[in-house]
Amino acid sequence: MSRTPAFLRTTALAAVLATSSLMATAQTAAPPSPASSTASPAVQASPAERQARQAEHHARMAERHQQRLEQLKTRLQLTSEQEPAWRAYVARMAPPDHRAEASRGERPDFARLTTPQRIERMKAWQDQRQAAHAQRMEATLSFYQALNPQQQQVFDQATVPGFMRAGMKHRHGHDRHDQVHQKGPQS
């Protein structure tokens, strides 16, 4: 059996993990739409309220992230020799703290920037995200190498994205298509 499919599967898994981790922690800062400026004051939140909701959201996400890591560690049944690899993995997988960036004033008012300035800022953010993706993929691969084959199987199963575990194909009618073709034409 070739090692290439396993390497590709591991790399794809790492990419999916990195992407889902970043998606869970990403902040979206969309400018207010014209319709929102005419909405009632009860619908519009003040900047302080939005910031409080974001902080609450980040706290919930961090708590869920920590719970998933603890569950994964329990399922892997790590040995004492594997603990340093686990600690390094957890440290490198930690999501970035967007609140620290915001408190340093690194988020400009996009309305005041020219289009080329906005594009340059977005390119810089994209480069940062890609570097974070690469760091998470390397952390995953490094930790995965420290696991024994049984633990690797547990890791593979535990880290499949939720929509794949739930059988996403069933939501798009593929199961019905498969059933028709398995039964053959009905008369």
Q: What tens digit of pLDDT does each residue of 107-151 get?
A: 667 788 899 999 999 999 999 999 999 999 999 999 999 999 999
Q: Is the predicted pLDDT of residue 85 greater than 90, yes or no?
A: yes
Give the pair of three-digit tokens for residue 103: 């408190």
Asked if pLDDT for residue 101 goes beyond 60, the answer is no
This prediction has a pTM of 0.56
The mean per-residue pLDDT over the stretch 166-180 comes to: 49
Residues near 144 by beta carbon (within 8 Å), at least 6 away in sequence: 10, 14, 152, 155
Can you tell me the distance from the alpha carbon of 88 to that of 131, in angstroms, rounded to the nearest whole number?
17
Residue with tokens 């005419």: 38
pLDDT band at 100; cut points 50, 70, 90 = low
Report whether pLDDT(187) > 50.
Answer: no
pLDDT of residue 16: 60
CA angle 164, 170, 171 (to 5 degrees): 90
